[in-house]
Amino acid sequence: MRLVVVGTGMAGSRVVSDVRARDKRVRVTVFGAETWQPYNRVLLSNVLAGTATPEIVRLHDKAWYAEHGVTAVLGAEVTAIDRDCRTVITADGRREPYDVLVLATGSRPFVPPIPGVELAIPFRTLDDCEKIVEAAGRARRAVVVGGGLLGIEAARGLAGRGLPVTLLHVAGHLMERQLDAEAGLVLGETLTALGVEIRTGAEVTAITEAGVEVTGGLVEGDLVVLACGVRPVVDLARDAGLHVERGIVVDDEMRTDDPSIFAVGECAQHDGQVYGLVAPCWEQAAIVADLITGADTAARYRGSRLVTRLKARSVELAAMGETHLTEADAEIVSFSHRRTGTYRKLVIRNDRLVGAILVGESAAVGTLTQLYDRGGPLPGDRASLLFPGLSSAPVADSPVRMPDAAKVCRCNNVTKGQIRACWEEGARDLAAVAAATRATTGCGGCADAVEGIVSWLCEQEGVSV
């Protein structure tokens, strides 16, 4: 079988590695428009902040491709699909035949149509990251446009380099899609304490050499970073005559309306939803790999339950599910302490957790994530969920009480039971567990939990590390 994957981002790379893990015989060719070896885009904020290098965030390298018999063509944009001949065509005229084609074209940054926007740098790729870091070295002040997840990570990273930063956001509070107004306010105050000036309700009208013009004046800055959201890259699919709406429309098998073509990741639209987080992309990749190789012909994608984690130094945030419901629609349990940068909110319906927001450090994150994932009944004492340390009940994210089915790494769907199994097979530290299960290789937010489980297992068995 000849498999061609278009895209070397996180979804495309995962398809390649999952297919190869299931079947050594499939002939795999992957095309990437970027010249970089595939990298973990989730960790680019760490590169921007100077806490990671491009080498650290790499997913695959030349040696991996050679070892696994995969042909990787980098710096080669696929510009056309000949569906009649089952061939993809690159910008330089290369033609590659396929039996099965996977489109993992990802998304591109949205660049608002405002005067002077070419003076700004989008924050999306490793090339963008390098440009921003280079410009930051000679800049006096930075302005970040966009108060979503990526914009906050960019602003925090630049502030961590000692650069004065102003974050502009058009909505009334930060991360308005995931957070309610109180949570957005607490998050903004936390960032302000870390050196990021926050201006919400700021409509950008132009970008100049002096800074960013907004309604009401000029925000000075000689480095302007754009983080205004993304749009799925669907041109290739649309030009090939595939069904495209906001994304490339797929069914539960992640197939397009051409049965020989799949789509995964940020370019795919499943059941009306386009996912922008890594965990759904990797879930989709696993389904496609199962179907292509025949490892599980019954595999189907049923959608994902999203948990958003903010990855910025000294900023702890998790949001999941239906966070904007009111008392009229659900039971709301909340606590806010702005002085300490703490906000916690539960959204409960039919005695099930359907949404939650946690701003500030909280031991409840693991417990609430598990309850949200599994949809199990909640204890009558709701306060014990927000403040697990005040309750005599066992904490679910303690390794002793955590069931083997509990999901520890959401990005890679790794459970405590899988961590225990690979430990029993000889994995005795975090690096060995990550190599065996991929836990911690997504956003990295589960590293402490995984390390805690490994340490606990070693203590239980008297194993020294």
Question: Each residue of 234-257: pLDDT tens digit?
Answer: 999 999 999 999 999 999 999 999
- Who has greater pLDDT, 27 or 398? 27
* Radius of gyration from C-alpha coordinates of the chain: 23
pLDDT of 465 over the 70 cut:
no
Fold of 322-396: Enolase-like; domain 1 (3.30.390)
Q: How far apart are CA 122 and CA 277, in angstroms?
A: 18
State the CATH class of domain 117-228: alpha beta
Question: Does the domain made of 398-465 have the CATH classification 1.10.10.1100?
Answer: yes
In this structure, the number of other CB atoms found within 10 A of the CB of residue 84 comes to 6
Question: Each residue of 396-450: pLDDT tens digit?
Answer: 455 666 777 777 887 788 888 888 888 878 788 888 888 888 888 877 778 878 8
Question: Each residue of 355-410: pLDDT tens digit?
Answer: 999 999 877 888 898 889 888 888 888 888 888 765 444 444 556 667 777 778 87
Mean pLDDT across 115-134: 95
Nearest to 175 by CA among 43, 332, 343: 343
Mean pLDDT across 93-105: 98
Q: Binning pLDDT at 50, 70 and 90, where does residue 121 land?
A: very high
In the chain, where the domains are located: 2-108+231-293, 117-228, 322-396, 398-465
Q: How far apart are CA 217 and CA 228, in angstroms?
A: 20
pLDDT of 216 over the 50 cut:
yes
Q: How far apart are CA 284 and CA 18, in angstroms?
A: 11
Question: Does the domain made of 2-108+231-293 have the CATH classification 3.50.50.60?
Answer: yes
pLDDT of 114 over the 70 cut:
yes
What is the amino acid identity at position 132?
I
The per-residue pLDDT of the chain, averaged, comes to 91
Strands (E), 107-163: 107-109, 121-122, 142-145
Whether the domain at 2-108+231-293 and the domain at 117-228 fall into the same CATH topology: yes
Could you tell me if 289 and 281 are in contact, meaning their C-beta atoms sit under 8 angstroms apart?
A: no
Q: How far apart are CA 372 and CA 239, in angstroms?
A: 40
Question: Each residue of 164-206: pLDDT tens digit?
Answer: 999 999 999 999 999 999 999 999 999 999 999 999 999 999 9
DSSP character at residue 58: B
